[in-house]
Amino acid sequence: MIILFKRVCLLCLFGVMHITVIAQPIIDNQFNSWYMYFGNHRITDKWGLHTEYQWRRSGIIQNWQQSLLRVGADFSVTYNLTLTTGYGWIVSYPYGEQPIAQTTTEHRIWQQLILKQQVWRLYFNHRFRVEQRFIEDWQANAAGVQELNRFKYRNRGRYRFMVSIPLSRKELVNNTLFLAIYEEIFLGFGKGLGINILHQNRLYAALGWKFSPKLNIQLGYLNQYIIKSDGLKHERNHTFQLSCTYNFDFRKKEKKGEL
d(CA 113, CA 199): 20
For residue 65, what pLDDT is reported? Answer: 98
Q: Are 82 and 75 in contact (CB under 8 A)?
A: yes
- Report the SS3 class of residue 157: strand
Q: What is the dihedral of CA 217, 202, 225, 245, to 10 degrees?
A: -30
How far is 252 from 259, CA to CA, in rounded Å?
14
Q: How many whole angstroms separate alpha carbon 113 and alpha carbon 131?
A: 12
CATH number of 2-249: 2.40.160
Report how far residue 70's alpha carbon sits from residue 125's, in angstroms, rounded to the nearest whole number.
20
pLDDT of the residue at 249 = 94
Phi, psi of 211 (to 5 degrees): -75, -40
Instruction: State the Rg of the chain over Cα.
Output: 20
Residue type, 161: F
Measure CA 39 to chain center.
14
Distance CA 168, CA 81 (A): 27
Q: How far apart are CA 67 and CA 93, in angstroms?
A: 9
Q: Are 214 and 48 in contact (CB under 8 A)?
A: no
Task: Sketch the domain layout of the chain as residue ranges.
Answer: 2-249
Question: 181-192: per-residue pLDDT in tens?
Answer: 999 999 999 987
Q: Quick one: pLDDT at residue 85?
A: 99
- Predicted local distance difference test score (pLDDT) of residue 1: 53
Per DSSP, the three-state class of 196 is: coil
- What pLDDT is stored for residue 259 in this prediction? 43
What is the predicted pLDDT for the residue at 184?
Answer: 99
Residue 26 backbone phi and psi in degrees, to 5: -95, 115
**pLDDT for the residue 64:** 97
State phi, psi for 247 to the nearest 5 degrees: -110, 115
What single string gives the DSSP state of each residue in 189-218?
ESTT--S-SEEEEEEEEEEEEE-SSSEEEE
Of the candidates 255, 224, 248, 226, the one whose C-alpha atom is nearest the C-alpha of residue 41 is 248
Flag residues of the chain having pLDDT under 50.
5, 16-21, 258-259
- Triad 117, 123, 129: Cα angle to 5°: 65
Q: Could you read off the pLDDT of 98-134 as tens digits, one per residue?
A: 998 899 999 999 999 999 999 999 999 999 999 999 9
